[in-house]
Structure 1
Amino acid sequence: MEMNSALIVIDVQEGLVQAGPYEKDRVLQTVSGLIEQARQQQVPIVFVRHADEPGGLLEPESAAWEFYRSISPEEADTVIEKTHNSAFYQTNLQEELERLGATRVVLCGLQTEYCVDATCKSAFERGFDVVVVQDGHSTLGEGPVSAEKLKELYGETIWPGRFAEVVKTLERF
């Protein structure tokens, strides 16, 4: 069966980038490269944007809520607005992916243990082939667990062989 891929860029928003996720510059460079590669290969791109409740970091219409300035959608791209961790929960992402003919999703973005993880598992549960680009996601850390350890835990232990193929870089869509 031929795999039709879609790139899903999760929550690369001003507020989260400004908060300083682990290996921020490398992750932003990887995400930018994935977007460029997808455009060159005419692979559909879905940008996901999280909205918090009023007063939250990612309050809708705030500067922090906006897509990060160098990583933002073009007119042909799909934009999904969400209010929960999973980009599938109470959104039309599944319908959009079906419309695009996608059977494989390539995930990148922020934050590893929240929205990237929830979207990864939700995509897997819906029958998509899931690929996570290890250099294309990051987080801020959570309590006593460093961002580096969280990224390692999910990318090397939780996702591979269970929910997703994890690749360091993407050779092809």
Structure 2
Amino acid sequence: MSNVAILVVDVQNALIEKHPYNERKVIENIKKLISTARDNMKEVIYVRHDDGVGTEFEKGTYGWQIYNEVAPNNDELIIEKQFNSAFLKTSLREYLESKEIDTIMLVGLQTEYCFDATCKSAFDAGYKIIIPEETNTTFDNEYLSGENLYKFFNYGIWNNRFAQVISMEDVIKTYLDK
């Protein structure tokens, strides 16, 4: 039996208000996972990016705040990070070890940046990673659409290499609804 935690990466106002690909579906799915996890006494951990003074992710600013629809409860941990990976120079790994968490359910933003770096860092640290479908997102760029980036990373890079990309229904049934 795995000890699972949901890791909510960078679901912050500055990103959500730019309207990433599949925004509403991703937010609704994350909300459903968080609610189900809380109902079943599973850990929900948040990661928040701080890019420093003068940026849209400056600590204490509106853009830095976690998006209100998925905001943490007062007793839920928020890991502050300054690098793409939620593991680099943070207390995340120590916290997961202290709670004997061996499986990370990864959700959040941005697919090809902090989400990807966190996925691969978690894999390198030996965690089992579950990525529920339609729970990460990103934006169009000069090379690819947000939709193509989502598909490429979820099904071309991560699935069955670094993580398992699984339907919401199967994730809830297998990992959360106990």
Paired residue type of 2:164: E
CA positional deviation for 1:114? 0.6
Following TM superposition, by how much is the alpha carbon of 1:168 offset from its aligned partner in structure 2, in angstroms? 2.5
Please name the residue that 1:92 is paired with. 91
Aligned equivalent of 1:145 = 144
Amino acid at match of 2:91: N
Question: In structure 2, what residue type is equivalent to 1:57?
Answer: E
Per-residue deviation, residues 104-150 of structure 1 (Å, max 9, x unmatched): 00000010001111110000000000011121000012322110000
Residue-by-residue CA offset, 1:6-44 (whole Å, 9 max, x unaligned): 100000111100011101111000010010011011111
Aligned residue number for residue 160 of structure 2: 161
How far apart, CA to CA, are the structure 2 residues paired with 1:41 and 1:98?
Answer: 20
Partner in structure 2 of residue 61 of structure 1: 60
Report the 3-state secondary structure (helix = DSSP H, G, I; strand = E; otherwise coil) of the residue aligned with 2:69.
coil
Identity of aligned residues (%): 36
Alignment of 1:15-94 (within 5 A): 15-94=14-93
Give the count of matched residue pairs. 172
Letter in 2 for 1:7: I
Paired residue secondary structure (1:135): coil
Write the letter of the residue equivalent to 2:99. Answer: L
**1-side partners of 2:24 and 2:60: how far apart?**
25
CA distance in structure 2 between the partners assigned to 1:131 and 1:141 by the alignment: 24
List alignment gaps of at least 5 residues for structure 2. none
CA offset at residue 54 of structure 1? 1.5
Secondary structure of 1:70 counterpart:
helix
Asked whether the equivalents of residues 44 and 100 of structure 1 are also in contact (C-alpha less than 8 Å), the reply is no
Give the CA RMSD over aligned residues: 0.9
Distance 2:6 2:27 in 1: 15
Aligned mates of 1:26, 1:76 — CA distance in 2: 26
Q: Confirm or deny that 1:112 pairs with 2:111.
A: yes
CA distance in 2, matches of 1:134, 1:111: 14
User: Could you list the runs of 4 or more consecutive aligned residues of structure 1 that deviate by over 4 angstroms after TM superposition?
Assistant: none
Q: Whole-Å Cα distance in 1 between the matches of residues 132 and 103 of structure 2? A: 13
- Give the aligned residue type for 2:124: E
- Measure, in 2, the Cα distance between the counterparts of 1:55 and 1:144: 28
TM-score normalised per structure 1: 0.96
| Unmatched runs of 5 consecutive residues or more in structure 1 | none
